[in-house]
C-alpha cells in the first residue's frame, strides 16, 4: 500500500503527468511531422482532404487538447502535493537545489505556454477548419475564413513543436542533470538564466502570433514555421542556446 502514502501520491501524479505528456506531445509530433506535411499529397482531391480532416484530425484533436489539460493539471497537482515544493525555490537554501529549480521553472513556463496555445489558438482556429470541412462534405460553399484560421493554428502548432524540445529537456534534465549544478549555481545566476530564457520564449511566441509583421507567408520572420524542416532547425537552435546559457550561468 506504499502507493497510498504521500510519497506514493507524488509518484502517482508524476506517472500520470508523464502519461498525459506522452499522448499530448506524441500527437503534436503526429500533426507536425505526419498529417500536415501529407495533406498536400491529395492534390486536387479536395473532398478526400476534407474527409481526412473531419474523420482523423477531429478525433486526434480531441485527444490532443484534453491530453494537454491532463498534463497541465497533473503538473500543477505535483507542485501542490510535494512537500515544500516552492520553499526557497530560487535560493541556494532550496532542498531541491537551485540548478534543478531553474531548469524545472523554464520547463514549466514552456509547458504552460504550450497548453495555452493548444486551447486559446490551435483549438479555437481548428474549430473553424473542422466546420468548413463538414460544410464542404455536405455540399456547401467553403468558408473564406477557414484558410486564415488554419494558418494561425499551424503557426501556433509549429511554435509548440519548437518549444517541445527544450520543454522536455529541462523537465527531464531538472531531476537527472541539473541537480549536479546545485553545488555551484547561485540564486542570482539562476534568476538571470530564467529571465533570459523567458524573454527568448516570449519573442518567439509573439512572432508566431504575427506580432512582428503579420501572419502572411510574405513575412520573412515566420521562416521557422513555414515547414517541418524549418521548425526542427529552430527547435534545435533554441535548445542549443538555452543549454549553453544554462552551462554558463548555472555550471
pTM score of the predicted model? 0.93
Q: How confident is the model at residue 251 (pLDDT cuts 50, 70, 90)?
A: confident
Distance from C-alpha of 52 to C-alpha of 49, rounded to nearest angstrom? 5
pLDDT at 189 over 70: yes
Three cell numbers written together for 192:
538571470
pLDDT at 1 over 60: no
Distance from C-alpha of 47 to C-alpha of 78, rounded to nearest angstrom? 45
Q: How confident is the model at residue 4 (pLDDT cuts 50, 70, 90)?
A: low
pLDDT digits (tens, 9 = 90+) for 147-185: 999 999 999 999 999 999 999 999 998 888 877 666 677
pLDDT digits (tens, 9 = 90+) for 27-55: 999 999 999 999 999 888 889 999 999 99
DSSP code of residue 94: -
Distance from C-alpha of 135 to C-alpha of 159, rounded to nearest angstrom? 29
What are the phi and psi torsion angles at 198 (to 5°)? Answer: -65, -35
C-alpha radius of gyration, the chain, whole number: 20
| Predicted pLDDT at 38 | 92
| Predicted pLDDT at 33 | 96
What ranges do the domains of the chain cover?
Answer: 2-250
pLDDT at 228 over 80: yes
What average pLDDT does the chain have?
91
Q: How confident is the model at residue 57 (pLDDT cuts 50, 70, 90)?
A: very high
Nearby residues of 201 by Cβ (< 8 Å), 6 or more positions away = 109, 110, 113, 163
Amino acid at each position: 500500500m506504499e502507493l497510498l502514502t504521500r510519497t506514493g501520491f507524488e509518484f502517482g501524479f508524476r506517472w500520470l503527468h508523464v502519461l498525459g505528456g506522452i499522448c499530448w506531445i506524441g500527437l503534436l509530433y503526429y500533426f507536425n511531422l505526419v498529417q500536415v506535411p501529407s495533406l498536400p499529397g491529395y492534390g486536387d482531391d479536395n473532398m478526400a482532404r476534407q474527409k481526412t480532416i473531419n474523420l482523423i484530425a477531429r478525433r486526434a484533436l480531441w485527444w490532443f487538447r484534453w491530453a494537454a489539460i491532463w498534463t497541465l493539471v497533473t503538473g500543477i497537482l505535483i507542485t501542490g502535493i510535494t512537500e515544500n515544493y516552492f520553499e526557497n525555490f530560487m535560493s541556494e537554501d532550496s532542498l531541491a537545489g537551485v540548478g534543478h529549480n531553474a531548469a524545472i521553472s523554464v520547463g514549466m513556463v514552456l509547458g504552460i505556454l504550450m497548453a495555452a496555445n493548444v486551447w486559446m489558438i490551435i483549438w479555437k482556429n481548428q474549430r473553424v477548419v473542422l466546420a468548413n470541412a463538414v460544410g464542404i462534405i455536405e455540399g456547401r460553399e467553403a468558408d473564406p475564413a477557414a484558410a486564415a484560421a488554419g494558418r494561425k493554428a499551424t503557426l501556433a502548432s509549429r511554435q509548440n513543436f519548437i518549444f517541445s524540445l527544450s520543454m522536455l529537456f529541462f523537465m527531464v534534465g531538472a531531476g537527472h542533470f541539473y541537480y549536479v549544478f546545485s553545488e555551484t549555481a547561485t540564486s542570482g545566476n539562476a534568476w538571470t538564466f530564467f529571465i533570459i530564457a523567458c524573454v527568448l520564449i516570449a519573442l518567439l511566441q509573439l512572432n508566431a502570433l504575427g506580432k512582428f509583421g503579420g501572419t502572411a507567408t510574405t513575412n520573412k520572420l515566420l521562416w521557422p514555421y513555414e515547414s517541418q524542416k524549418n521548425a526542427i532547425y529552430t527547435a534545435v537552435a533554441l535548445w542549443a542556446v538555452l543549454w549553453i546559457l544554462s552551462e554558463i550561468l548555472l555550471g
